[in-house]
Structure 1
Amino acid sequence: MQTSTQHKTALGHLRILDLTRVLAGPWCSQNLADLGAEVIKVERPDSGDDTRSWGPPYLQDAAGNSTGEAAYYLAANRGKQAITVDISTSQGQSIIRELVKQSDVLLENYKVGQLAKYGLDYDALIQIKPDLVYCSITGFGQDGPYAHRSGYDFIIQGMGGLMSLTGERDDLAGGGPQKAGVAITDLMTGMYATIAVLAALTHRDKTGEGQYIDMGLLDVQVAMLANMGSNYLTSGNIPKRWGNAHQNIVPYQTFATADGHIIVAAGNDAQYRKFVQIGERAELADDPRFLSNPLRVQHRDILVPMLADMVKRKTKNEWISALELAAVPCGPINNLEEVFNDPQVRARCMQIELDHPKAGIVPLVASPMKLSKTPVEYRQAPPLLSQHTEQCLRDLLHFDDEKIAQLKLDGII
């Protein structure tokens, strides 16, 4: 079992007040927690983060009984302290303000203008904490004609162009737009927000100034179009879906083997020749229609079916072994059982286990950040709802037992 170790952390001097829920915001705050920051996750009393109930599957204890902790929630909330506060009440708002005074960063993903009703917007909070870094995450940003719309990853993938690029070609069976298998826009927003927060903190440390960060999912999705966005802006041509094929290179796609699928990425003529030789179709290397990559692209509809038939004659492992030996870029398409049993994934320690108060242990996916001097720290499992409320109020705000009991009775915490 991997547990927290004592070492210097990169962000151990920071406290993050996290008013976010679901994925984009919690992904950002989990990054910061992994790097050593103290993260206080603020949730609604009774129900908490929406993702706590987004199951099954739920974490099970040693006897196989459900703990009620949804796997979705567990994916994005390790290393945090969890408190519950009803911020719609004046007493709850007062608690948040007192915590802000002792925090470096506030993260939130409420609808545009919603926190202003509670006096918890940036303009209000910098009156009590001038150097606060305040990061808002919304679907469409704080301005523009869509600012007040709710933003969901799936919708943003469609609106932001990703689904126009993802999926099988329209002229083939199963063609049409397809979303990514994970909420990639949420995750990338969390990553961009992490970078923005760290940049703002660097500026604060140099100048003493806090600042406001406006993160919009649609902005992120447009930014991450990367070369495809640049291709369009440069040429004016609208890119099409190519499924698992490449529009400029052949063969550079998936193929079905006798017992699974592989990816072959033959980026030059020599690699293509080795590929067909291994497949016992060496004549395809000398066919005048396929002598060069431009010719193979031109005649892809003739060549690819022949390659597909060739690949089906061997198993996935037979192909991978032979192609790797010949230095032809290739790889399997693994299911998640195969991923977590992969020797490279295991060597890189990409699965961890942390102590959990209900389940005994909880298995989690590790952070990919490998820092030599300030490695990531896995201090605790994703917290139970309100697990740290009393401790936080006592240690940071110096509330006594009587005051805490009254706040509970009043439904404030």
Structure 2
Amino acid sequence: KTQINSLMMSSVRRTGRYKQLKAEGMPEDSIMMDFQKPVKMSRFTWQGEEEVEMSPWDSIRYHKQIAQAGLMSMEPATGDIKAWVGGIDWQHFQYDHVKQGKRQVGSTFKPFVYATAIMHLGMTPCSAVSNASFNKGSYHVPGRGGMLTLRDALAQSQNPVALRLAEMSGTSNVIQTARDLGVTTDISTSLPMALGTSDITIYEMLGAYSTFANFGNYTKPEMIWRIEDANGRVIKEVKPVVKEVMNEMYAYTMIDLMKGVAEFGTASGELRRRGIPVTTEIAGKTGTTQNNSDGWFMGIVPKLATGVWVGWEDRATHFWSTGEGQGAKMGLPIWAIFMKKVFANKELNILMEDKFIKPANWTGSCSDLNNLRNGYGDEGGLQSIDELKNPTQIVPEKPVKKEDRTNEALNSGEDIDFNK
């Protein structure tokens, strides 16, 4: 209850109502009494706006339980932003989740780690890395044992492999790759960064992913290219910002890796359930953050890149289980619904049959081993991992537990049940 009140008070003090009463000189206890008085107001519902009588305090509590979402879609080749959905309802939630809001990105950060390993270590989709439990100093991340190709490891979002790749490549090199791809957010140099502990916007993430589809060339996303006055005189004209980050071989290797996510990995089941066939070429990555607070899907088809985030205003509000709270169940359904409408509009000329352009001399493909489906090693199993499960600090003189645990230092808030 103390934590709920603390969270609520923080939200109350951000409201215009509180700031106005404070400016008028009203004492704090009187302001709180005012927030407890029922008044007539409109509130958001998924069926439409509803007129009710409730206190401002209860209104804040109610709206905090509403899931939020953001979506952005752009042409990788031009940087032209085709869709920008900052939230679910601007009247009640005046916040842009595309460029204003930064959220923990989870496993959607892993392609930056893999790209670094490919460029700096000469790895290919067929290169094999250990998926055994990862122990570094006082930290432990559970693994399922055995060796995995990079393609299988990314498709099934295996955390130990991402950590080993970051360690071998060097976290400073991973950060530089992210910077080259247009990510300006502060990124920790500690190894857990490989699992997506950083807060990044959809805008920056999508610009980065689009680079892979644009043959390794980063193009800054733009929505307004030219502004003219009433007489047709140009007031402002934006020139495309393009820079080469990697050659087309590296870029297509990343496309090939991420195609596995949609073909047989963490996104495959939901895509099929949503009516998108396996023959449609999609390069993407799911992402789920700590305590299931954020669900992501970044998906690229040859002519269009689209990123989706789903979560809540406060990270303390979240799904209890990863079954419901993973990126494949939160962000991916929105992506699939959006893309099916794009495919259905023939005027857009974005088709399910479109194929990524493979470099003539690219030879990096390898068979889908799908080791996780067969089980292997002394920690073998069938479960894929699409969660941000941060390294767990080992308590001296106590056995390390096998189950996933989280690093409390990276947690943004304890579990909160607003109904209590």
Q: Shorter-chain TM-score category?
A: under 0.3
Larger radius of gyration: 1
Give TM-score, length-normalised by structure 2: 0.21
